[in-house]
Structure 1
Amino acid sequence: MEFLKVGAVEPIEKYLSKKLLDNIEPGAMEARINNILYALPVAIGPRFLYYRTDVFQKYGIAGPPDTFEEMLADAQKINNPPNFYGVGMSGKKYTELTEFAYYLLGNDGYFFKINPDGSYGKCRINDEAGVGALTFMNDLVNKYKVTEPGVTAYTRDEVQDLFVSGKLGIMLSGAFTESILKQRGATFKWGYGLIPHFAGKHRHALVITDSIMMFKASKNKKAAAKFLEFFYQDKWRFEFDKLVGFPPVLKSVGKLPYFQAPIYKVMVESMPGAKGWPLIPEWAECNDIIWDAIGATFLGQKTPKQALDEAAAKIDRIREE
């Protein structure tokens, strides 16, 4: 965003073939801003659901939940505090706002209204989708009590530690958790599922993207585009994606046998409809404001509606400055 703000980035779409562009999932095109594509995704990390297959089998639950309502029902069945908790919840301010994003996107919500030209409008976290998402999160914590207690003391990493230590039944996370489970020698059985959505709503996984851009001052734009066309051939992207351990950026590579392993399969299946973070310079401030609203809700200081109304107003003010 810093490079874009100072006008250093060259719009890239006109240099690339339609064949290449059509072979990339739209949800991975995070760098499309105001309907202008400024970069190509190099690596993508969709988030998904981890669950304890051994515990689910013990309680007669056939597989991972499809909706958040089913996730709540499953969490209630397996919840056994203080030794074991149904679902993890991070409530401590962190560099990423992933927890709220999972529930917000799964309720057909987003952080901002999208203008006709593709730009971001007013903050919309306090609409029906946003308030419904935070209300459900708060109910998991304070009404149904299926999360670990004291959630405002837990960041994502600390919730992950609970899952790895065998104290959680369900966790929403990314591929990095799989590596940590194996590194620490977890002895229990786990599986994967798509990020749930609310009943009657659409599924939208959160996707984290690293992108490659072209500088406006470059004297070799056509040569750079030629390299990208070469690098984004299936055989080279396959080797790259296999090496870094993330799911494929290209639709065609996602169909290869290697990426049909359960963890890759769920990540590939997560991509249609996936959404990323808003690309605005003020996002770090917005992130902090929304975290404060979540914490105030979990602690009973404000209702979800009050907390999000105040947060949305603050966000609109800082973007207008």
Structure 2
Amino acid sequence: MKNASSGNSSRTGLHLQGMTRRSLVKSAAAAGFTLPVLGKSAVFAAPRRTVRQQDAEKPASLNMLYATVEADVEAIKLAIPDFKAETGIEIVLDSQPYDALQQKVFAELAVDSPYYDVIIVDTPWTPALTGKLEPLSEYLTNEALNDVSDPALDDFIEKVFFDTAVYNPTSPNLQFPDPSAVDVEAITGEGFEIYGLPLQANALVAMYRTDLFENAEGMAAFESEYGRALAFPETWDEFTEVAKFFTRPDENLYGTTLMAGNGDWATDDFKTLLAAWGGDGYMVSDDFTLAFNSPEGVEALTYYADLINEHKVTPPGVTSFSWDDASAAFTSGLTAIGMNYHTEVLAPDVQGNISYALVPEKVTRGPHFGTWMLSVNKASQNKEWAYRAANWFTNGPTQTKMLAAQLHPSRKSAYKAAKTDENATKFGNFYDILGQSLALGVGRPRLTNYGAVDKEIWVAVNSAATGSMTPEEALQSAADKVLALLQEAGYPVS
């Protein structure tokens, strides 16, 4: 099962530009996790390959540090034999679960270890890592280095590419001003760089029980009550009506899942609504102005809390739901509608069918999204071949093949292929909806201490959802704490 966005970002809060091992350990403790107690040279304790003197010399192998289910490691495993057949290079894959991976990435890069050539990077980590990842603009425009695969940058979903890979090296908090076309010259001309190539793109999508929506008796009853045909709701106002219609506690059926428990999932639910209500879905603007406690934010969180407390369209216990809990509620037949970041399969004892849809709109749509990227370790001694590998594993044909392992592609050509690829069509219209959602998505703010900021916002969402605070009180409390966190991180806030 693939988690929300590109992964669980709740423990990210480090900045590695110029960071020493000692300061890394101190910052890691502040961010909520511990790193192994290693001496400066301890990263070389395990046997290492011989470092080559010339980057252009083809190595026998490349070491890749990767995630597990969070970034679909099975998709990478599926493609590794083809890469070896194409290049003669063995990929030595080291896959780690999310928390262990995060610690490993930050520890290796903090001491400039050259061991890993290619590294998978989650978007919330990148603002802290730009000084440790190899800028790729010169590689992407060097014809000699694109002999193994054409980067075909115009094939990437534009929003995905810019949100994931394009950063200002001196001000990594900034969003690129015009993410409408992927053009290396335009990117570098604005003072930005490209720090990886996107792979495994996740966005919030809705799913619903078509057997319930297409039930003749139910359709007639809904039309009689609401004066329109029963269909998956296009707007959040319609969403409330449909969710209320399907809420039948005596039948152990509720309208919808939400992810209102304490965790990154609650922040992601909220920012989806914030964007839909016309607010800034990034929550913190480029100039560090807070946007989540705006009037739009209060209205969006009020709507969210009302689904739980006023309309009562969610299952019992929803204020402790995570991604996995929401998935379990929907697949067990407890709700007619679900929202999550992956395909769903109903439990064997639930007789029904699933279809997927865009999350509804209010003023607009802005589903939360996040993507992993393959990056080149700046300390690698095989950077040119590491780039070739990252380019090859993220190209259109490779991502299309990875559909067999349920990859969420970052390229338009892979979504086009998914329309007829049996590995994708067996999930109905999921890939069509995912591709559309990625093109509409809104990512996270680019903060080196996002993990701490994220926590304050999800606490506010949960407080409003449980009714322990009003939405306005909860967001103002979070705003006060987030301002203090930004100041502590050295950001220029007033």
Q: TM-score range by the shorter chain?
A: 0.7 to 0.9
Counterparts of 1:142-153 in structure 2, within 5 Å, are 142-153=309-320
Question: SS of 1:192's equivalent?
Answer: strand
Pairwise CA RMSD of aligned residues?
2.4
* Distance change (3 Å), C-alpha of 1:243 and 1:131: same
Give the counterpart letter for 2:466 in structure 1.
L
Which of 200, 213, 223 aligns to 2:385? It is: 223
- From 436, 440, 465, the counterpart of 1:269: 436
Give the whole-Å Cα distance in 1 for the aligned partners of 2:408 and 2:231. Answer: 22
Deviation of 1:233 after TM superposition, in Å, equals 3.6
Structure 2 residue aligned with 1:235: 397
- Which residue in the other structure is 2:461 paired with? 294
1:194, CA displacement in angstroms?
A: 0.8
* Shift, 1:51, TM fit: 0.8
The Cα of 1:281 is off from its aligned counterpart by 2.7
> SS state of the match for residue 202, structure 2?
strand
Instruction: Output the amino acid matched with 2:474.
Output: A
**24-33 vs 128-137, which deviates more?**
24-33
Partner residue, 2:274: 104
Whether the aligned pair in 2 keeps the contact of 1:104 and 1:110 (CA below 8 Å) is yes
List gaps (5 residues or longer) in structure 2.
1-13, 15-105, 110-125, 142-149, 168-173, 177-191, 220-228, 489-494
- Paired with 2:294 and 2:318, the residues of 1 have a C-alpha distance of 24
Letter in 2 for 1:41: P
- Does the aligned pair in 1 maintain the 2:206–2:340 contact within 8 Å? yes
CA contact 1:47–1:174 (8 Å) conserved in 2: yes
Equivalent residue letter for 1:187: Q
> 1:19, CA displacement in angstroms?
6.2
1:182, distance to aligned residue in structure 2 (A): 5.2
Gaps in structure 1 of 5+ consecutive residues: none
**Over 6 Å off, 4+ runs:** none
Q: Distance in 2 between matches of 1:300 and 1:228?
A: 47
2:366 to 204, 218, 221: 204
Distance of 2:454 and 2:290 partners within structure 1: 12
Aligned to 2:166: 32
Partner of 2:351: 187
Q: Which of 139, 150, 155 is residue 23 of structure 1 equivalent to?
A: 155
**Partner-residue secondary structure (3-state), 1:43:** strand
**Which structure exhibits the higher relative contact order, with contacts defined as CA atoms closer than 8 Å and separated by 6 or more residues?**
1
In 2, Cα distance between equivalents of 1:264 and 1:283: 29
Q: Is the 8 A contact 1:56 1:78 kept in 2?
A: no
- Looking at structure 1, the residues matched to 396 and 462 of structure 2 have their Cα atoms a distance apart, in angstroms, of 45
- Give the match for residue 85 of structure 1: 254
Q: Are the aligned partners of 2:292 and 2:475 in contact in 1 as well (CA < 8 Å)?
A: yes
Higher Rg: 2
Structure 2 CA distance for aligned equivalents of residues 147 and 135 of structure 1 = 15
Report the Cα distance in structure 1 between the residues aligned to 2:398 and 2:246, rounded to whole angstroms: 44
Aligned to 2:263: 94
TM-score by length of 2: 0.58
TM-score (norm 1): 0.87
- What SS does structure 1 have at the residue aligned with 2:303? helix
- Summarize the alignment of residues 164-183 of structure 1 with structure 2, pairs less than 5 Å apart: 164-176=331-343, 178=344, 181=345
Percent identity, aligned pairs only, is 26
- Partners of 1:225 and 1:66 lie apart in 2 by 42
Aligned residues: 311
SS in 1 for 2:433: helix
Q: Compute the displacement of 1:140 (Å).
A: 0.9
Q: Secondary structure at the match of 1:122?
A: coil
Moved more, 134-143 or 224-233: 224-233
Change (3 A) 1:62 1:152: closer
Give, in angstroms, the shift of residue 314 of structure 1. Answer: 0.8
C-alpha distance in 2, partners of 1:214/1:111? 27
